[in-house]
Amino acid sequence: MAPFDLPLDQLERFAPAVPEPEDFDAFWSSTLKDARGDAPILDVHPVPNGLRLVESWDVAFRGFAGDPIRAWYTRPAGVEAPLPAVVEFVGYGRGRGLPQERLTWPVAGYAHLLMDCRGQGDQYGSGGETPDPHASPHGGHWPITRGILAPEDYYYRRLITDAVRAIDAVRELPGVDPARVVAVGNSQGGGLALAVAGLVPDLAALICTAPLLCHPRRAIDITEAGPYGEIVTYLSVHRDAEQAVRRTLSYVDGVAFARRAQAPAHFGVGLRDNICPPSTVFAAFNQYGAHRRCGEDSEDSATSADALPERTIHVYPFNHHEGGEAVQVERQLHWLNARGPFQP
């Protein structure tokens, strides 16, 4: 895939005025208040993983509407001291898989919670174990189109709520320092991590690569690759649904979450990525943390580097959606390990 989006010099300045619903904050405040009516943890029990250096637990915690969400909790074996925790969110179509699959963070010395994605897990990987019991009255059968005609019914309202509750849950698990929790993810997982950064004010750090759901209004206009292509396909059949679809997407737009985020952030993007187009990623990155400083005081404050939280982005000019792969992971590890509060 050749570069198809804006050139890098324009991407580095790309900060579009992506419209937000007037009730965006109220919508998410109400949604999370309803979800947090009960303590997050439902069940925690150890599971054999066949490994000597790390220990694993099967976790169930309350997500949207109190639904049980499954997760793997893994940490270095024999370490009892409270550790910084990484909460990781998986990509589109993937479930949590098996407990021995994703070991980078626990082997690096962190406590690690890997959240399952409700109603996903059948496209690749080793499956998932969390159903989505809420039937969406309208929308396509793909996760990204379920309930897409109304923000209250939308699938990602539920999944983002689950992700926030995963942060609540990890803080209740044994051996975790609740003040040192970081959200991590690529693609869909990156979009969930970014949403968490915008909704959890005391998150300690964000690491995301090629996040999905950033500036989706632009994404569905410039790419037909999935998952955005699934929205395009839906609209090609439901020709009168565009206005409702665009309104719903505005409630889960990563740019809006990025504007509200305050945690130090590490991004990554491939310039040949037609799945999560680079302009959508830069739209979020360039406005990261700007919400609390724009509007009332000065329009310039939204674009001033000195006014924004610490953030960095690694660009891979010749890569597609895979981005930097192991190179990016290495950079993530060095970035997080270099921060004193995150030393295991």
- Among residues 100, 50, 43, 84, which one has the least CA distance to residue 171? 84
Annotated active-site residue in 215, 266, 291, 321: 321
CA distances from residue 1 to 261, 275, 300, 316, 317 in whole angstroms, order as listed: 32, 11, 36, 13, 11
3-state SS assignment for residue 25: helix
Instruction: Give bridge partners of residue 114 from the DSSP assignment.
Output: 72, 88
Q: Which parts of the chain fold into alpha helices (H)? A: 8-11, 24-35, 104-107, 155-170, 188-199, 216-222, 228-237, 242-250, 254-260, 278-285, 325-337
> Which member of 5, 116, 168, 273 is catalytic?
273
Q: Which SS3 state, helix, strand or coil, does residue 193 take?
A: helix
Q: Is 1 helix (H, G, I), strand (E, B) or coil?
A: coil
187 flagged as catalytic: yes
The answer to whether the CB of 206 falls within 8 A of the CB of 183 is yes
Which residue is catalytic, options 56, 187, 250, 279? 187
Per the annotation, the verdict on 45 as an active-site residue is: no
User: What residues are annotated to the active site?
Assistant: 187, 273, 321
